[in-house]
């Protein structure tokens, strides 16, 4: 199978891919229950003669394509959920659901993976091994991948020994691919702190215990924690994004609350910073005779690409698309991703595909004006197909697609 054939096949199903992507885009669904999106995907998979299973606790889909001959299994992932935000693109197929939008490109991820399933199913007779298609709900903070793992995603026979996912970005020329070895995306944990003092008249702070300066001191001290206690080459971000206290100019409130996020790119630094945030907040409050109630809510772990598999993905991309559009990323992205749960158990990689619009400004993911350049979708379909074909071919000793 030549690279040019894979790209040509991917181009040949572009109309269907766009149609599915727009159908999903028009009706975005949130969280772990996406019946309409699941229905749209099942409609297309129906004709492909795959072993299809749907989730119990979520509307996930796991579909296995078994090749004609035995061999290893590779998992390919797409996420399917949207974001709770209004859409302001003005596109003719814009969201028809108030307060929901596919602003993270998961509609495109889903349509590309369906396209890849279609192309790989056509090649079933030449496949040695199988491809496991993972369509997950609840990527945007709902731990959808973890639920799928709990429901047996990785327990099939044979279990996957490699895993691959794509995520759209606006940062490169449309159709370009970027990936890196090692940490690819950050852990994302939430901090919630309530500093409890004692309120009273603002003219007599000595009769009160003012929580506001204590909260301010805690915010400052987090930045000292990050710069003085964290290795500069294994970094962390602590951002307090919300402070809430008080009601008016002449009343000292009882409490001040802080809300923020903690990002790291290694589990060791993650634990160190989580411990440090608790210690610093409690210690500073105690030093002033107040109390800090610290709640740390664990989000997604660090997304770590397997070094060998990430190299394999970059090689595959160079062969498929040409080295001028393939980029080895110098550093991780500090957003988080629940494909991390899969990569904790299966060596694999997530890569970025640029879908930067050719006309007009490129808004980032999670912007109400984020748009996907659909002409880049064949590159994504072809990447899924080529990674799978090349990985399964390795079992037979072949090393290139040509």
By the criterion CB under 5 A, which residues form the site for Ni ion?
104
Nearest CB to Ni ion, comparing residues 168 and 285: 168
CB of 104 to Ni ion, least distance (A): 3
CB 292 within 8 A of CB 285: yes
Compute φ and ψ for 231, nearest 5 degrees: -60, 130
Q: Is 374 a catalytic residue?
A: yes
Q: Sort 289 into a burial class: Cβ within 10 Å, 0-12 / 13-18 / 19+.
A: exposed
The DSSP secondary structure of 17-43, one letter per residue, reads HHHHHHHHHHS---TT--HHHHHHHHH
The DSSP secondary structure of 75-133, one letter per residue, reads EEEEE---BSS------TT---STT-B--SSHHHHHHHHHHHHHHHHHTGGG-EEEEEE
CB of 27 to Ni ion, least distance (A): 18
As a whole number of angstroms, the distance between CA 280 and CA 72 comes to 49
Nearest CB to Ni ion, comparing residues 312 and 341: 341
Compute φ and ψ for 314, nearest 5 degrees: -65, -40
Q: Measured between alpha carbons, how far is residue 199 from residues 13, 206, 290, 312 in Å?
A: 66, 11, 12, 61
CB of 167 to Ni ion, least distance (A): 6
Nearest CB to Ni ion, comparing residues 140 and 210: 140
Question: 188: helix, coil or strand?
Answer: strand
The residue annotated as part of the active site, out of 140, 300, 337, 341, is 300
Nearest CB to Ni ion, comparing residues 197 and 380: 380
CB of 80 to Ni ion, least distance (A): 11
CB of 228 to Ni ion, least distance (A): 33
Query: Across the strands, what pairs with 201?
Result: 251
Nearest CB to Ni ion, comparing residues 80 and 382: 80
The residues that are catalytic are 300, 374
């Amino acid at each position: 199978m030549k690279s040019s054939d894979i790209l040509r096949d991917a181009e040949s199903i572009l109309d269907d891919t766009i149609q599915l992507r727009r159908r999903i885009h028009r009706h975005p669904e949130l969280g772990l229950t996406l019946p309409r999106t699941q229905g749209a995907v099942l409609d297309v998979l129906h004709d492909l003669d795959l072993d299809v299973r749907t989730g119990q606790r979520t509307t996930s889909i796991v579909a296995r394509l078994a090749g004609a001959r035995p061999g290893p299994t590779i998992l390919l992932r797409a996420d399917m959920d949207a974001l709770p935000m209004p859409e302001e693109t003005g596109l003719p197929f814009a969201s028809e659901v108030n307060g929901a939008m596919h602003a993270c490109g998961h509609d495109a991820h889903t349509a590309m993976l369906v396209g890849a399933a279609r192309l790989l199913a056509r090649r079933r007779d030449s496949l040695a091994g199988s491809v496991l298609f993972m369509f997950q709900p609840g990527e945007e903070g709902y731990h959808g991948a973890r639920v799928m793992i709990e429901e047996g995603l990785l327990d099939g026979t044979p279990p996957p020994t490699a895993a691959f996912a794509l995520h759209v970005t606006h940062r490169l020329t449309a159709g370009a691919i970027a990936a890196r070895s090692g940490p690819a995306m950050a852990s994302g944990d939430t901090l919630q702190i309530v500093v409890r003092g004692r309120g009273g008249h603002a003219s007599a702070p000595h009769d009160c215990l003012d929580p506001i300066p204590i909260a301010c001191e805690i915010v400052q001290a987090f930045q000292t924690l990050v710069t003085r206690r964290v290795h500069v080459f294994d970094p962390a971000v602590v951002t307090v994004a919300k402070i809430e206290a008080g009601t008016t100019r002449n009343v000292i409130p009882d409490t001040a609350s802080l809300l923020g996020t903690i990002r790291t790119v290694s589990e060791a630094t993650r634990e160190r910073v989580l411990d440090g945030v608790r210690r610093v907040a409690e210690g500073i409050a105690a030093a002033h005779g107040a109390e800090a109630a610290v709640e740390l809510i664990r989000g997604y772990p660090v997304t770590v690409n397997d070094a060998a598999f990430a190299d394999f993905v970059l090689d595959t991309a160079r062969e498929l698309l040409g080295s001028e559009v393939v980029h080895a990323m110098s550093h991780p992205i500090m957003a988080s991703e629940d494909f991390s749960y899969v990569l904790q158990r299966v060596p694999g990689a997530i890569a970025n595909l640029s879908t930067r619009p050719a006309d007009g400004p490129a808004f980032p993911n999670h912007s109400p004006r984020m748009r996907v350049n659909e002409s880049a979708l064949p590159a994504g379909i072809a990447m899924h197909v080529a990674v799978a074909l090349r990985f399964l071919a390795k079992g037979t000793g072949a090393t290139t697609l040509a």
